[in-house]
Amino acid sequence: MLFSSANAPRAASRNSLYILLPEASFETVRDGGEVYAMICAGCHQPRGEGAIGAGRYPVLAGSATLEHSAHAIEIVLAGKGAMPPFRDLLDDDQVAAVLNYARGAALGNGFSPNVEAADVRRARR
Ligand code: HEC
């Protein structure tokens, strides 16, 4: 489990995320599918099927919010409700890569056009 207060040797000072990976090694993860598996799948599930249990994690397949790329960028950067913000953990390329992965066939989507790193950079404030 990626997010757990029980295994947080490095209680992330920057945005209160608890991650197992040392930041230095996470920065080398450039592939959107890997970013998804390491961060997003814990809540949204490996195929974006979502979950209802201790919380409600939206289905990403067919998500209108995900299709609206500006909205999706905003949610990943700033978080929403029980979803933590990732603006400090992920750089522009990683946000674009994970969103393109989630917007693509791997999660049953076919949203276009692709999110570009420049779109993410503009959305940061
Ligand atoms: C700790 C659990 C958690 C993690 C990790 C997480 N999310 Fe979320 N996500 C949520 C929750 C909860 C919501 C619903 C927020 C709300 O509407 O209140 C959400 C909403 C979303 C939405 C909007 C979906 C919709 O249709 O409303 C998108 C897109 C999304 N997340 C993408 C991602 C991506 C991409 C990642 C990985 C970088 C990620 N999430 C990581 C919990 C998580």
Compute the distance between CA of residue 125 and CA of residue 87 in angstroms, rounded to an integer. 10
Closest protein CA for atom 34 of ligand 1: 40
Per-residue pLDDT tens digits for 34-77: 999 999 999 999 999 998 887 899 999 999 999 999 999 999 99
φ/ψ (deg, to 5) at 72: -65, -40
CA–centroid distance, 58 to ligand 1, in Å, is: 7
CATH of the domain at 88: 1.10.760.10
- Would you say the CB of residue 72 lies under 6 angstroms from ligand 1? yes
- Cα–ligand 1 centroid distance for 9 (angstroms): 24
List beta partners, residue 52. 56
Percent of the chain with pLDDT over 90: 70
Looking at per-residue pLDDT, the higher value among 4 and 34 belongs to: 34
Q: Which atom of ligand 1 is nearest to the CA of 55?
A: 12
The pTM is what? Answer: 0.86
Block residue for tokens 């790193």: 117
Residue 41: exposed, middle, or buried by beta-carbon count in 10 A (0-12, 13-18, 19+)?
A: middle
Number of separate domains in the chain: 1
Range of the domain at 112: 5-123
Strand partners, 51: 57
Of all protein residues, the one whose alpha carbon is nearest to atom 7 of ligand 1 is 83
Q: Cα of 83 to ligand 1 centre, how many Å?
A: 5
